Amino acid sequence: MLKLETLISEQDIQRRIEELGAQISKDYDGKEIIMLCVLKGGVMFMTDLAKRVTVPMKMEFMAVSSYGDEYKSSGIVKILKDLDEPIDGKHVLIVEDIIDSGRTLSYLKNILEGRNPSSVKICTLLDKPDQRVVDVEVDYVGFTIPDSFVIGYGLDYHQFYRNLPYIAVNKGE
Ligand code: PRP
Ligand code: MN
Ligand code: MG
C-alpha cells in the first residue's frame, strides 16, 4: 500500500508556476511559442503553466512510449501521437512533469530539432538529477528533487494519482 506524504504542496507548485510563467513570458517577449505537452504526465503542468504565459502561444500534445528493455539500452522512444502542425521556423517549448534518466527528452528533443524549428527548449516541473543517464539540457526547472518515488500533479502510480493537486512521495513499502 502507498503511504503518501506531501513533498511539494499545491500552493508551492502554483507559486513556482507563476514565476516560471513570468520568466518564460519575458524570455520569449516579442515571439510566439508552441507549448508542447508530453502526455500524459505533463498535462497538469501544461494547463497551469499556459495560464501564466502572456506571449502568443499554441498548445500541442505528443504521446510517446518506451520500448521496454530495448528502451533502456537504445533510448529509442516510439511516437504514438505526433504534433498536428509542422514546426519549422517556430519556437517550441517542451513541457514535462519530470526528467529522470533523460532518455525521453533527449530523444524527443533530437527528433524535434531535425524538423528545423527556430528553437527547442525544455521546461520541466521536476528534475531528478541523481537518475540521469543521458545528458539533456534543461532550460526551466520547477523543483529539483532527490531520488524518491513521487506521484501526483500528472505523475502516476499504475496510471492512478495523476489528479492530486500536489506532489506526494511514497513512504510505504
Ligand atoms: C514519465 C515522465 C516522463 C518520463 C521521464 O513518463 O512523465 O515523461 O517518464 O523519464 P525519463 O527521463 O527516464 O525518460 P511515462 O513514460 O511514465 O508516461 P506517462 O507520462 O504517461 O506517465
Ligand atoms: Mn511522461
Ligand atoms: Mg508514468
What CATH number does residue 155 fall under?
3.40.50.2020
Report the alpha-carbon distance of residue 118 to residue 93 in Å, rounded.
11
Residue recorded with cell 503518501: 4
Sign of CA dihedral 102, 7, 171, 96: negative
Ligand 1 atom nearest residue 97's Cα:
7
> Closest by alpha carbon to 139, among 123, 151, 160, 158?
123
Q: pTM of the entire structure?
A: 0.95
| ipTM value | 0.97
Mark whether 82 is an active-site residue. no
How many domains does the chain contain in total?
A: 1
Which residues contact residue 67 at a Cβ distance below 8 angstroms, ignoring those fewer than 6 apart? 74, 76, 77, 78
Structural domain boundaries, residue 29: 4-69+76-170
Q: What percent of the chain has pLDDT over 90?
A: 88
Strand, helix or coil for residue 161: coil
Q: What percent of the chain has pLDDT over 70?
A: 95
Distance 39 CA to ligand 3 centre (A): 9
Task: Give the chain's mean pLDDT.
Answer: 94
Q: Which amino acid is at 46?
A: M
Q: Could you tell me if residue 152 is left (phi over 0), alpha (psi between -120 and 50 degrees) or otherwise beta? A: left
Q: What is the pLDDT of residue 22?
A: 98
- Which residues have any ligand 1 atom within 6 Å of their CB? 38-41, 66, 96-104, 156
Report the alpha-carbon distance of residue 55 to residue 21 in Å, rounded.
10
Q: Which ligand is nearest to the CA of 80?
A: 1
Binned at pLDDT 50, 70 and 90, residue 140 comes out as very high
Q: How far is CA 150 from the centre of its chain?
A: 14
